[in-house]
Amino acid sequence: MTATEGPSATGGEGPSATGGKGSPATGGEGPSAPGGNLPGPGRGDTVAEVVRQWRAVHPGLDTGPMEVIGRINRCAALLQQAEDAPLRRAGLTRPEFDLLGALRRTGHELTPSELARETFSSGAAVTKRLKQLTERGLVERRGDARDRRVAHVRLTDSGRDLVDGILPAQLAYETAALSGLDGPELGELAALLGALLGQLEGRLGALRA
């Protein structure tokens, strides 16, 4: 495999509503926190071994980008594989929670197209998830008075209560996943990832060309 390959993800298509995954902070049903096994500065990781192998095959190639992107992809895959215990206990998938979270944090109705943009999901995927959430009584749709092709989606009282009840546990779960890093390290990592994300979002069209 290349350094950018990792185990297949079991989560959703887009970024999480709260920013990561891990294991429950207090007991619960989920697997142990991946953050507890983060390698220290002197320890290797799987990407380091992949890079070493590629350097042996192609010693003249610059593997620097692989060392960054490979680790980002590997971390994302491991965090997604760990799943989300609070969400699982509530019978929600990460993509479903992202939809509910988008409606809660924006505080107003959104169309399916707007939800697709908010959650970095396809329109077809959003339509399928909204159908499931509607059947559970967590969201409701109303037609647009001026355009029957447009629907507006909002949280029901049950949906809002569910999001508000899950969020503290989910944040604790994610804190446990990052427990191997201290405050300054987390701040530096967040800043670096923010800078990278800003560049990629700004150059997305060019990168896909």
pLDDT digits (tens, 9 = 90+) for 101-147: 999 999 999 999 999 999 989 999 999 999 999 999 999 999 877 87
- Residue 79 confidence class, pLDDT cut points 50, 70, 90: confident
**Mean per-residue pLDDT of the chain:** 80
Strand partners, 154: 140
Contact criterion met (CB below 8 Å) for 3 and 67: yes
Which runs of consecutive H residues, i.e. helices, occur in 156-203?
157-177, 183-202
Q: Report which secondary-structure segment, H or E, holds 99.
A: helix 94-106
Q: What pLDDT is recorded for position 11?
A: 41
